[in-house]
Structures are given as structure tokens and as C-alpha cells.
Amino acid sequence: MISVRDGQNRILAQVSGSTSPEFLPVTRALDRVLAEEVRAPFDVPPSDNSAVDGYAVGSGDIPPTGARELAVVGDLPAGSVFEGALAPGQALRIMTGAPMPGGADTVYPQEVVKALGDAGGRVSVGPIAKGANVRMRGEDVPAGTIVIEAGSVLRPQDLGLVASLGIWQLALHRKPRVALLSTGDEVAEPGHPRRPGQIYDANRFALRGSIERCGGEVLDLGIVPDVRDELRARLDEAARAADFVISSGGVSVGVYDLVKAVLDELGSIDFWQVAMQPGRPLAAGRLGDALFFGLPGNPVASMLTFMLFVRPALYKRAGRRALFHETLEARAAEAMTKKTGRMEFKRGILSRHGGAWEVRTTGPQGSGILSSMVAGNCLIILDEARGAVAPGESVTVEPF
């Protein structure tokens, strides 16, 4: 029996990072992993500019008290540049975002300026702080700064910042290719008739979604019956086409549990009893150049072992910096059973209560009860050493 932590470390030690990047336009980079850091090629903003619609002046013309009359020498919209410089006694009407003219370092918002006469040729201004309402060149991002680190998963705001730097193409890690199959004579394809004794395949759909969420590309190999030659042929095909191969079912100790036997033949396999509940049996190993994961058949166990063992490995392969999700502490709203000596993962419902996080379980926690994953919005993570949880105790949760 090995611990969850040891299992994770052993798997991660076998995963290499992604190879050569691919170059894609910014419009196709959402949720992808950046392979090379992005640096600002110039200052943002590229020049000092006005933060308001108003009047640009030199600070020498700001009256310490009372009012002063200035001559308006022009009108500068955003996107234009004022040629020349303001002389003392002059102001320039300026729009938000327009570059500051020479000789000016302060902008009066138009609301505080009094126009004298109808022509708008002269204005009266009062005291204002020197430098007010000016956005300085480089105040957002100075040239040369790393604005997005390699290994970041790109969000909409990252794409906006990249675009603001004039960059339209990014170096991205290639998506890991993940071959996925279900095993079992009892497993039927949804949308097709089901023979007596059969159940519909749940795992291939939950796992497909999990893989795609992690940035992997799924190669769906369908359902493989518990027939040794068929399983061997399908796994062999999978290993040639993919970086990772994931199966579910057939790793417990029943007579039809062929995955281990076939893997011993085609590659190398570690068959683990992991000290966790649910999801105890798990096979991990190599299949040609691919990494193989034989997940348990019970639907909750297969999703959970994916989250614990496959997800960090996929993230590493995909080039991501962060391999584990954030957790938080919550107050247990109810008593929870727990055996010491193994990690237990319950499906929980996390909510805010009196200004703090509170969590209760979704009810029955059997490893076949997939509806607990649907009713829940988090995992409750209870460490090996811990015993039963009393109401009010603090527990660790990982939001889904």
C-alpha cells in the first residue's frame, strides 16, 4: 500500500515537460499554456497622455490661488499629436488618451474650467496639483518587463495585454494527446440498446471532460470487452498515437481484470494499492513511449484518481507551472466518518455561513454513486492521520 503523496511523486518523476512549442494567433490562445514568457517590447502607455477630457497646461501657469486666464491654442483628439509646444499663458484642449503636448505637464478636467466668451478661445482656471490627470509613459508596463510568465494558462485579460503590446502570435505548448478507453463486457455505449446486465458507460464521458478541462486532446478508443487479445490490440494502438493512455475498469482483483496482465506484456506496470478511499486500486506504468494509467471502474473512483494522479501529470506534460489546485479550510457542518491510515475524499457542498466557509457531505459516499459528484461542489480532503471529524472542526476542501 502506498500513500497518495508517494504515488503522485512517483508519477510526476516519470513525466517530461512538453517538447517544441507551436505558434498560434492570439485569437486561438485562450486556455492554452504559454511556452515562452512575453516581454513588453515598448513602454505602455507609449507616451505621457491625458487621463481626462480637459485642458493641458504647463504647471508654471497654475495660479496658487484665485484664477488665471489662458489662451486655448488648439484642440487635440485621441490619436493625434500636437506639433510644437505650449508657451506660457497657453492651454490646449485635449481628449482622454491623447499624448501630452510639449510644454504641458498637467490637465484640468473640462468641468473645472470656465470658458470665457462663446468662441472657446480663452479659459479661466484655478489652482490644481502639478501633474494632475496625466498618465505617465510606462506607468502600466515599462519596456522589457515580463508581463506573462511561461507556463501560465492564458486568460482573456492576458490576451488583451498581449494584444496591447502589438503581439499577434504566441508560442504555446502543444496539447498532450490522451487516448481513452473503457473496459468491461458489462459496459454499453449510450445511445445504443443495453442488454440485460449491462450498464451505460459513464467513465469515458466524465474522463473525456476531465481531460479536456486539463488542456488535453482526447483520442476516444471506445469500449473494449474483457477479451485479452482485443485489449492488447487496442492498448498497443493507443500507445502509438498518444502521450498518455487512460483506461477505466479492470484493475481490481477479479478474474476479468486483464489490464494488468496485458500491460505486463506490452510495457511495464506498477499495480498499486493506494491508501485512499474511494479509489484504492490503480495501475500506473509505461506503454511504449506513452504513460499509462489504469483507473478503477467505479465512476467516483475513476474521477477521483484522475484528479489526484492524472491531472498533475497532464499539467506537467502540458507545460503548466501550477500542478495542484488551490484548497481552502472550511468548518465541518456535520460529523464525518474517517479511518486513520488512509486519505479519504468525500464529496461536499461548500457554502458561506456567518461570514465563513462551511461544508457538509452530499450524503451516501459509495464509490459508485456518481450523483454525489454532481450534487457536490467540492472535495473534502481528510489526511491519513486524521480520525472521525466532529461538527465544527476545520477540514480542507478543494472546490470543483
Of positions 249, 278, 285, 319, contacts Mg ion by CB under 5 A: 249
320 CB-near residues (< 8 Å, 6+ apart)? 33, 151, 153, 215
Of positions 58, 249, 267, 348, contacts ligand AMP by CB under 6 A: 249
Of positions 103, 296, 319, 376, contacts ligand AMP by CB under 6 A: 296
Closest distance to ligand AMP from the beta carbon of 188 (Å): 9
User: Where is 235: in which H helix or E strand?
Assistant: helix 228-241
297 part of the interface to ligand AMP, by CB under 6 A: yes
Surface-to-core class of residue 251, CB atoms within 10 Å of its CB (0-12 exposed, 13-18 middle, 19+ buried)? buried
Closest distance to ligand AMP from the beta carbon of 255 (Å): 10
Q: Alpha-carbon distance 141 to 154, whole Å?
A: 18
- Phi and psi, residue 67, nearest 5°: -135, 160
Strands 343-353 and 276-277: parallel
Task: Name residue 167's amino acid.
Answer: I
186 part of the interface to ligand AMP, by CB under 6 A: yes
Q: Which is nearer to ligand AMP, 101 or 279 (CB)?
A: 279
Reading the block at residue 56, the C-alpha cell is: 493641458
281 part of the interface to Mg ion, by CB under 5 A: no
Q: Which is nearer to ligand AMP, 252 or 371 (CB)?
A: 252
Query: Residue 298, Cβ neighbours under 10 Å: how many?
Result: 24
Q: Alpha-carbon distance 329 to 382, whole Å?
A: 11
Of positions 184, 215, 279, 319, contacts ligand AMP by CB under 6 A: 184
DSSP state of 310: I
Q: Which is nearer to ligand AMP, 250 or 319 (CB)?
A: 250
371 part of the interface to ligand AMP, by CB under 6 A: no
Pick from 133, 66, 126: nearest CA to 104:
133
Closest distance to ligand AMP from the beta carbon of 330 (Å): 30
Reading the block at residue 99, the C-alpha cell is: 499624448
Stretch that binds ligand AMP, among 90-98, 210-218, 248-256, 308-316 (CB under 6 A): 248-256
Closest distance to ligand AMP from the beta carbon of 150 (Å): 37
The footprint of ligand AMP (CB under 6 A) covers 182, 184, 186-187, 199, 201-204, 248-252, 254, 296-299
